[in-house]
Chain A
Amino acid sequence: MEKKRSNMEEVTIKVDGKEIKASKNDNLLDVLLKNHFSIPHLCYHPDFEPEESCRMCLVEVNGRVKTSCGVKVKAGLDIITASDKVKRLRKINALLIANSKNRKKTRSNFSFGEIINYDMTKCIDCNNCVAACRAQNVKAVKMGEYGVNQIITKTENSCVYCGQCLTHCPAGAISTNEDEFKKIKDIIKDKKIIKVAQVAPSIRAAIGEEFGYKSGSITTGELVAALKKIGFDYVFDTSLAADITTIEEAKELIERIKKNEKLPMFTSCCPGWVKYVKEYYPQLEPLLTTVLSPEIKMGNIIKHYFAKKMNIDLKKLYVVSIMPCTAKKWEVKRKEFIVDGSYPVDDVLTTVETAKLIKENNIDFKNITQVEFDNPLGKATGAGIIFGTTGGVMTAALRTAYFLLTGINPKDLYFREEIVDIKGLKIINVEFPGKTLRIAVVDGLGNYKQISDKLDQFDYIEVMACPGGCIGGGGQPKPITDDVRKNRRDGLLGVDKKAILRLAHENPTVKKIYEEFLIDEKTTKKYCHYHPT
């Protein structure tokens, strides 16, 4: 998320008698945590201005008790992190928060679309969900009433299922639908059904955190192995379908620019963004690329290409997407996507749900023997992998568009390095031979309004609902902070940089799919494009 840059002037403060260097105006709690002081805290999230409401992160600042999240660092601060007084007050506040359960236990739950559930018995009144939803410019929740009667409620605004409220909830009060999770688990146990999992690009850089890995660690092999152990018969890589998205989207972009129609073209991989458009900017819908998201397209390829090839009866086939995303649960239920009577994907598990499933199956994720994705849908290029970060779809599409226009591959595969920066909005001109491509890359829905009234200044716009893109998605492990987002992004970029194949149009599996399945324009349109009727 975009944060005000702090003044970089370095100052020295004293913490428990030790001298510590920090930047002036930095948040004191951040500084203490970074220096490994153990400070309990609940409501503070570095994405937002501190609420200072839980009163757990108390410390003594020059002899006065203060919430450390509310103190800006300056020279001369003398901090005691755990005086007897502070420890006593923290304990009282913790007990008071626990005691509030007495009156909250009769509260009822509510849900958004049966996808995101709010359990108000667990709520600790921190207001972070409201702040997260406000940052997304959706404002579907608000704090209602006052005092002990205050409670989070829905507003009239429609939820777009991005799940940012969920990732910012410190109390576990917001979660994905438990009943659906149980249903999915039951189907996975059914031996008569052939279970296929497809794994989104960003999962590999995040799921390890649930098993003690540092954020950004790539654990593809462990994940595939674990999914197999759970009972999936085939595990495929959604990044492969991302490569097809890249090719189709690059073609569409070139076509639209040639005809000078339906510009700027918007990406539509992100269901949070698509839902946001449908609810709040319906006039933009014709500008979205018609190319289906990699996940939906992958579902089609599994059901209408792979299944046929393997002689699998569609009635016995169950396709589950492992996604970083809560809005994907909405996307897979879109009736418009049904092809020949089948939903492309049957169900979605988030990263967190998948990790839970792995833990419930007592799988030793860290020590498991790594397994590769299955053939034939397991080989993606680096371009497909970076779909998981902000600017990734844009970068991949530019690489292939450049090739389609010039017949040669671009020299610098990142064009302009800032494309993959995590900063909310990037406005960049990319020089193509004979043409300057004017692009914008948005991460975090709330940042879209910065360009909403100047669309004529752009040819191509990528929008990802979550800050940082899928790596910061609503289904990803907590905590998600700027550092975590950056590490996960760097993880994905590292995979791309090390990959032998980094251009979607050079993917041999993709070429084969075009030869055997997407044989003509009509078929490609049927399985890879969305046609509003």
Chain B
Amino acid sequence: MQNNKRSPIEIIDLIKKANLVGRGGAGYPTGPKWEEMWKKNHKKIYIIVNGSEGEPGTAKDGYILKNHLDELIEGIRIAYLVFPNTLKIYVYLRKDYFDSYHKIIEEKSQGLPLIVFREPGGYLCGENTVLINSIEGRRFEPRRKPPYCSEVGLWGEPTIVNNLETFFRIGQIIKGEYKNTRYYSLSGEVDNKGVFDLPVDATMGEVFRLTNNKLKNTYFIQVGGGASGKYFLPSEIIKEKASIGTAAIIVYDSTKINLIDLMKEKLDFLLAENCGKCTPCREGVFRLIELVKEGKILEQEAIDVIENMLNSSFCGLGVGAGESFTSLWRKKDQIWKK
């Protein structure tokens, strides 16, 4: 095969030239990440393929496993080519994905030091350091950074963690089939739901147009996932790029759901999936739920608690939820016009 002839640095150059950005949500450029790791020439590293896909509304990893498994494994093989010093490749899958695909992945990945790992927890395990803790059998809690996973990761060794889609895109890049696209997951109040392969720089408007979906004036959308995604109005979709977070787009109808019910839905999720580590996220979510129950969710205290989540949470998930609520708060009066 042609790929096998490429040197690690050629592969990294191709990834850099393609401007590939990680698909997990943090938006970190993959080429420089790999190059930095490659230059350090560690004796042993781990590679983790993150298929936790816990962000509500996101379905792309499942879509890839179902429809493009060979290309995904090709991408993983390329990673092993760049990092032959890899002790183990963990394909970390949420429970239902694991149950459906672990056998076939094992079959197709012969020759690779690969383990398919069943995610033992929930939403939080998608965060890189929680994921690593969960593999090590530790409590599902985020770790302090620094040190970053690339320095001290799984079992204390340098570790590359990339989203499952990122590996799939690397496979495409090396084959010359990558066309600057990413997967957008569309759900909610749209006719044409699903996962769509569209340009990375598509605006929200283009995503709806290309998927033959129409937005009514009473609709509003959440982009980047159901827990940490930001909220947008129909009037904003012409300008705003849709490539936010995991590129999950959820469409709501403001005549069908009110602010309080929406908050309750989001908060119930965050309460159930909370790791408990830090005050702003653990107690913030608890207090917001109390405020909903007390009928005080629209009072100043709620925005204080949200602002605190955004500014002082320990990990990205608390910050993300804070960001999400902040954007909802900014637009709530436009979404639900009085």
Contacts and interface: CB of A to CB of B under 8 A. Distances in A.
A92 B309 CA distance: 10
Interface string A42-84: 0000000111111110100000010100100000000000000
Contact of B305 (A50, A51, A96, A103): A96
A150 interface: yes
Interface in B245-281: 271-280
Interface in A167-204: none
B286 A100 contact: yes
A197 B291 CA distance: 54
Given A53-B279, A55-B280, A102 B311 contact: no
A143 B141 CA distance: 11
Closest 7 CB pairs of A and B: A147-B274, A96-B283, A150-B276, A92-B308, A147-B276, A55-B312, A93-B279
Given A53-B314, A55-B312, A96-B305, A146 B271 contact: no
Given A96-B305, A96-B308, A125 B282 contact: yes
B272 A147 contact: yes
Contact of A89 (B287, B308, B314): B308
Interface in A280-318: none
A102 B290 contact: yes
Interface string A246-284: 000000000000000000000000000000000000000
Nearest to A144: B139
Chain A CB within 10 Å, residue with most, of B140, B312, B314: B312
A85 interface: yes
A53 B278 contact: yes
B66 to A, nearest CB: 30
Nearest to B306: A92
A118 B186 CA distance: 49
Interface in A313-336: none
A71 B271 CA distance: 29
Contacts of B330: none
A145 B144 CA distance: 20
B8 interface: no
A55 to B, nearest CB: 5
A53 B275 CA distance: 11
B304 interface: yes
8 contacts: A52-B314, A56-B279, A92-B307, A96-B284, A99-B290, A100-B286, A146-B274, A148-B283
A96 B312 contact: no
B277 A97 contact: no
Nearest to B314: A52
A96 B287 contact: yes
Nearest to A72: B146
Contacts of B282: 125, 147-148, 150
Nearest to B276: A150
Contacts of B280: 55, 92-93, 96
Contacts of B312: 55, 58, 65, 67, 89, 93
Contact of B283 (A85, A97, A146): A97
Interface string A115-134: 00000000001000000000
Interface residues of A, number: 31
Given A58-B312, A92-B308, A52 B276 contact: no
Given A52-B314, A65-B311, A100-B283, A92 B304 contact: yes
B144 A96 contact: no
Given A52-B314, A53-B278, A92-B307, 18 more contacts: A49-B144, A53-B277, A54-B278, A55-B278, A55-B280, A55-B312, A55-B314, A92-B308, A93-B280, A97-B279, A97-B283, A99-B287, A100-B286, A125-B282, A147-B271, A147-B273, A148-B274, A148-B285
Contacts of B271: 147-148
Contacts of A150: 276, 282
A143 B274 CA distance: 14
A71 to B, nearest CB: 11
Residue among B304, B307, B308, B313 with the most chain A CB within 10 A?
B308
A146 B279 contact: no
Contacts of A85: 311
Interface string B211-241: 0000000000000000000000000000000
A517 to B, nearest CB: 55
A251 to B, nearest CB: 48
B300 to A, nearest CB: 11
Contact of A125 (B139, B144, B276, B290): B276
A97 B312 CA distance: 14
Interface in B293-329: 304-305, 307-308, 311-314
A102 B305 CA distance: 17
A148 B271 CA distance: 7
A96 B279 contact: yes
Contacts of A103: 286
Given A52-B144, A52-B278, A93-B280, A148 B308 contact: no
Which of B287, B307, B311, B314 gathers the greatest number of chain A CB atoms within 10 Å?
B311
Contacts of A148: 271, 274, 276, 282-283, 285-286
A501 to B, nearest CB: 51
Nearest to B284: A96
A77 to B, nearest CB: 15
B302 to A, nearest CB: 11
Contacts of A89: 307-308, 311-312
Contacts of B140: 146
A65 B310 CA distance: 11
A148 B276 CA distance: 6
Contacts of A55: 278-280, 312-314
A65 B311 CA distance: 7
Contacts of A50: 144
A56 B314 CA distance: 12
Contacts of A52: 144, 278, 314
Contacts of A102: 290
Interface string B157-188: 00000000000000000000000000000000
A342 to B, nearest CB: 48
Nearest to A145: B276
Nearest to A58: B312
Interface in A93-117: 93, 96-97, 99-100, 102-103
B10 to A, nearest CB: 37
Nearest to B275: A146
A55 B283 CA distance: 11
Nearest to A99: B287
